[in-house]
Amino acid sequence: MHVRFWGTRGSIASPGPDTVRYGGNTTCIEVRTNDDELIILDGGTGIFRLGSALTKQRLPKRISVFVTHTHWDHIQGFPFFIPLFIPNQEINFYGTFDPVYDKSLKEILAGQMEYCYYPVRESELKANISYKSLQDRQTITIGGAKITPVMMNHPVLNFGYLIEADGQRIFFTGDHEPMRSIYEPGDEEYEEFEQIIQLRNSVLEDVITEVDICITDSMYTAEEYPQKMGWGHGSYQSCIEMADRIDAGRIVLTHHEPTRTDSELDAIYQSITKQYGHLGPELFIAKEGMLIDLG
């Protein structure tokens, strides 16, 4: 199995001279199994270049796209994903049903292609497209790969995805903030809420224990995090600590804060290596174009 990063930025695409090396496109990750099953995680602006690259090679029989959640930075590239315009190309979307707005994944993705936003309707796309809403921890099989969605903590329903194939396991959080108590110690509800947090964390960490690669939303530094609490994202520290707890082989830190420059990310890498290099997981900061080949 191998993993390639086509978009590593969070919130908004941020191309420019300061983001050339780590990339300015928003979230999109390609996972390819050894039997050529193509699994795409999210369709941020990075999916445009992935789609262009696919059309220059032999297209796979089917393309399976797993959407963590439908915030713009994870779906905005879909209308520009060229394989959607290729007649008979099989493309299957998987994701969540939005219980707050009572909308399916198809309705949400079609919404961003309405007349006022885009010149081509979803119904006019030429590929053979299907949509499936998944349930928490409902494992599905695609070829030789097993994919399990796990509910994460974010201001909209967000699935992390565990992908198991070729004897290897990869997990991607999508957007995720570690759960924290909304009560103070001493409040009547504090203990009960702490138990809920522990239960949610143990459910998640049981599913993803000992993954080969843990790809995490690590938008903030520990210093920035207190001002951004509740926005739905983690810090380098919280992500590395989680990866260490689950005995991950490697952690790839992604969904970079949009104003973060290449030199700032270099400095963060130096700092986290110094601070956490002694822990189990090998540390990586995601770069657009980066390939990790698990063999």
- Which residue has tokens 């994944």? 105
Partnered with residue 283 across adjacent β-strands are 251
Site residues for Zn ion, 171-210, by CB under 5 A, read 175
- Residue 210, token pair as written in the block: 């000992």
Binding range to Zn ion, per CB under 5 A, among 1-9, 72-80, 111-119, 270-278 = 72-80
- Which residue has tokens 């994701």? 95
Tell me how far, at minimum, the Cβ of 146 lies from Zn ion, in Å.
Answer: 25
Tell me how far, at minimum, the Cβ of 160 lies from Zn ion, in Å.
Answer: 12
Closest to Zn ion by CB, 140 vs 157, is 157
Q: Does residue number 73 form part of the binding site for Zn ion (CB under 5 A)?
A: yes
Q: Which of 238, 253, 247, 236 lies closest to 279 in space, CA to CA?
A: 247
Closest to Zn ion by CB, 37 vs 217, is 217
Partnered with residue 150 across adjacent β-strands are 160
Interface size with Zn ion, residues (CB under 5 A): 4
Binding range to Zn ion, per CB under 5 A, among 10-18, 164-172, 187-195, 236-244 = 10-18
**Positions of E strands within 84-242:** 90-95, 128-133, 140-142, 145-151, 159-165, 168-172, 213-217
| Cα angle, residue 32 at apex, residues 247 and 239 outer, rounded to 5° | 30
Binding range to Zn ion, per CB under 5 A, among 8-16, 81-89, 113-121, 122-130 = 8-16
Tell me how far, at minimum, the Cβ of 180 lies from Zn ion, in Å.
Answer: 17
The C-alpha atoms of residue 150 and residue 239 are separated, in whole angstroms, by 16
Single out the residue of 9, 71, 176, 256 in contact with Zn ion (rule: CB under 5 A): 71
Name the site residues for Zn ion (rule: CB under 5 A): 10, 71, 73, 175
